[in-house]
Structure 1
């Protein structure tokens, strides 16, 4: 996306480029569902195709982040500081980076999720993706917040969204704990190195929700300062 088009977006709304970024991040992460299904079915050519799409979308998100940093005006006359907006984008960007790392590690080792925990793992992954979608919904309310001067009913709406985001992240913590316990029960029947990486994948998938919650925390700071 050309720099002048980013400037055009800022002229209309200083928030729009950030919303475009979270849209790209969320779309990138949604590809993890078909990616893990393909890897579980040992369809490694298909899994690699999806991994490449994830990597491409992560790169596109990274380019949006870079352009936003370069073009974000220093003299913004609005309730949100430039540093807060940049921090918001940085937190969003970590989600896409994590998705790319997950797909790269799984494909690189041809890592297969054990059958006995696959169903619960997909439930866990989907709940982490729910956190990203909830963060995206909150980010998409920023325009309304600006229009209302960070006052009134819109603040309550965003606050409730952040609370729901925290609840979703709590769910992912509980699901991860159960998966770790279940993996512990079967780890002696699998390659020890694969087991080590499976624990890492569980951790990284959980980070998708953690980073999403951090977006909520940043939004709370913005609300407090506005």
Structure 2
């Protein structure tokens, strides 16, 4: 008898199959972050609220898929060792969407004053972090190709290895950009209220976390490949 639940049916074919589906929704959430910051720079509160709402909707959708994956993930002996690796990979993907939600919530709940000269480097950092998430997404989409091979040691696996190296390089870029932006913030801290400095620093950290979690997605996938 065929499973009535589509997620269960998907798992019947492979424990990896639902992961790209979840990551696609995560990326729909992340893609809203750049226009969210543009709305901040433009001081467009209506657009800011709209983008925030989109992010929250997509984050809840990602949570729903995550919960379904956890519920239907096979518990067979054959998958006993890989199950935790799969769950950690799923958790890293989910953390990206959660971080986007945190960013959106802060930008809407607390009116952030954009400092002169900060908009351009901020947008460069946001764009690079989103690019890093896109790279992680592209790697996850390669899972299906890897599954059609008799072994991970294949041309597809070699390509994924190259993509993982690029992912690490991109994340390193965001670290440097984030530190430079933080230095620019601290150079202006005498002009700001201390609480504003704290919130801006937290915001910069959260933007950088998008790339950090994207790299963790790659790290978790690397563990799966190695096993």
**Common fold by TM > 0.5:** yes
* More displaced 10-residue stretch of structure 1: 36-45 or 173-182: 36-45
Structure 1 residues 80 and 115, CA gap change in structure 2 (3 angstroms): farther
1:130 lines up with 2:131 in the alignment: yes
* More displaced 10-residue stretch of structure 1: 125-134 or 143-152: 143-152
1:8 lines up with 2:2 in the alignment: no
Structure 1 residues 182 and 196, CA gap change in structure 2 (3 angstroms): same
Deviation at 1:5, TM superposition (A): 1.5
1:167 lines up with 2:191 in the alignment: no
* DSSP-derived class of the 1:33 partner: helix
1:177 lines up with 2:179 in the alignment: yes
In 1, Cα distance between the equivalents of 2:196 and 2:106? Answer: 11
TM-score between the two structures when normalised by the length of structure 2: 0.93
**Alpha-carbon contact 1:135-1:216 (below 8 Å) kept:** yes
* More displaced 10-residue stretch of structure 1: 70-79 or 138-147: 70-79
**Alpha-carbon contact 1:80-1:222 (below 8 Å) kept:** no
In 2, Cα distance between the equivalents of 1:5 and 1:76? Answer: 23
TM-score between the two structures when normalised by the length of structure 1: 0.93
In 2, Cα distance between the equivalents of 1:65 and 1:183? Answer: 36
Residue matched to 1:111: 112
What are the superposed Cα offsets for residues 50-100 of structure 1, whole Å, 9 maximum, x if unpaired? 101101100110110000000111228579822211111111000100110
Residue matched to 1:27: 28
1:67 lines up with 2:44 in the alignment: no
- Counterpart of 1:154 (choices 153, 156, 165) is 156
- Counterpart of 2:192 (choices 170, 190, 193) is 190
In 1, Cα distance between the equivalents of 2:148 and 2:80? Answer: 11
In 2, Cα distance between the equivalents of 1:212 and 1:76? Answer: 30
What are the superposed Cα offsets for residues 99-137 of structure 1, whole Å, 9 maximum, x if unpaired? 100110111111133231111100001111111101111
Q: Which runs of 5+ in 1 are unaligned?
A: none
1:82 lines up with 2:69 in the alignment: no
1:92 lines up with 2:67 in the alignment: no
Deviation at 1:157, TM superposition (A): 0.6
What are the superposed Cα offsets for residues 4-41 of structure 1, whole Å, 9 maximum, x if unpaired? 12112223443231101111111101101111111222
- Counterpart of 1:223 (choices 214, 222, 225) is 225
In 1, Cα distance between the equivalents of 2:203 and 2:77? Answer: 40
In 1, Cα distance between the equivalents of 2:106 and 2:8? Answer: 37
Residue matched to 1:40: 41
Runs of at least 4 residues of structure 1 off by over 6 A? Answer: none
Deviation at 1:179, TM superposition (A): 0.5
* DSSP-derived class of the 1:116 partner: coil
In 1, Cα distance between the equivalents of 2:190 and 2:26? Answer: 37
